[in-house]
């Protein structure tokens, strides 16, 4: 499938989120990191901000829930209108039910795995997801250095997805830059979350395009 770029507003100016969303019109998604200061040691935003963003941008929202009890909250993001909702395997107690509820509201359902979580035990859930997110940093903060140790896991995930069949996207999140995106693409990723690499640039749209080209030509 074609490369998709999902700029993360975690690295944007929170006081100007509508403007920051408008600065990446060539993006495929707008990545929204929801953190609760429990599952990860950071607190960001939640349903009210997502609701406001949905009114401020035509980009579909890619909501990544780094929270405790995603089984309770994830369906609400889908019902609100998020285009994709991601729950963490490490946090969900009823992933099948939750992923199905996300899909029932018309959103894409995704499962995220931390860097130290093996992908093979979750092969049985491939039929319940539209995307598999492999964290390439420890979740919780933007601007971290990319973990090369995740590259073999991306290759394993790609092999599992191809064996399963169907169209399941593989997303990577964390430390994705013009220097690392090609390695992720070569390993089998096709959706790329980039925070600092986009919002740390004076020209956000140009940064998105540069990332897209680097991944597409890998």
Work out the number of other CB atoms within 10 angstroms of the CB of residue 63.
29
Average pLDDT over residues 18-32: 98
Find the CATH number of the domain harbouring 119.
3.20.20.70
Q: How far is CA 6 from CA 38, 90, 174, in A?
A: 25, 23, 12
Average pLDDT over residues 184-191: 98
Asked if pLDDT for residue 49 goes beyond 80, the answer is: yes
Q: Look at strands 61-66 and 169-173 and give their pairing.
A: unpaired
Beta-sheet strand order (sheet of 169-173): 4-7, 191-194, 169-173, 131-135, 108-113, 84-88, 61-66, 30-35
Asked if pLDDT for residue 34 goes beyond 80, the answer is: yes
Q: Look at strands 4-7 and 191-194 and give their pairing.
A: parallel
Residues 67, 153, 98: CA angle, nearest 5 degrees: 35
Q: How many domains does the chain have?
A: 1
| 62: three-class secondary structure by DSSP | strand
Asked if pLDDT for residue 64 goes beyond 80, the answer is: yes
Question: Going along the chain, which residue ranges are E strands?
Answer: 4-7, 30-35, 61-66, 84-88, 108-113, 131-135, 169-173, 191-194
Residues 108, 109, 115: CA angle, nearest 5 degrees: 125
Q: How far apart are CA 196 and CA 212, in angstroms?
A: 15
Among residues 139, 147, 216, which one has the least CA distance to residue 178? 216
Q: What are the residue numbers of the active site? A: 33, 173
What pLDDT sits at residue 175? 93
What pLDDT sits at residue 139? 85
Q: Which residue range(s) make up the domain with 204?
A: 4-216
Average pLDDT, the chain: 96
């Amino acid at each position: 499938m074609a490369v998709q770029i999902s700029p993360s507003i975690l690295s944007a100016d929170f006081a100007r989120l509508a403007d920051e969303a408008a600065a990446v019109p060539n993006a495929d998604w707008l990545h929204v990191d929801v953190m609760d200061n429990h599952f990860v040691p950071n607190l960001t935003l939640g349903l009210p901000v997502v609701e406001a963003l949905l009114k401020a941008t035509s980009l579909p929202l890619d909501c990544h829930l780094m929270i405790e009890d995603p089984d309770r909250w994830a369906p609400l993001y889908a019902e609100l209108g998020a285009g994709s909702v991601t729950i963490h395997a490490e946090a969900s107690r009823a992933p099948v039910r939750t992923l199905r509820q996300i899909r029932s509201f018309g959103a894409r359902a995704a499962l995220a795995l931390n860097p130290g979580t093996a992908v093979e035990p979750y092969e049985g859930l491939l039929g319940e997801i539209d995307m598999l997110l492999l964290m390439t940093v420890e979740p919780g903060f933007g601007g971290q250095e990319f973990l090369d140790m995740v590259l073999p896991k991306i290759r394993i995930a790609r092999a599992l997805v191809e064996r399963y069949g169907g169209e399941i996207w593989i997303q990577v999140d964390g430390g994705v830059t013009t220097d690392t995106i090609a390695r992720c693409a070569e390993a089998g990723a096709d959706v790329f979350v980039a925070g600092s690499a986009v919002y740390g640039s004076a020209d956000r749209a140009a940064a998105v395009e540069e990332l897209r080209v680097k991944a597409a030509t890998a």
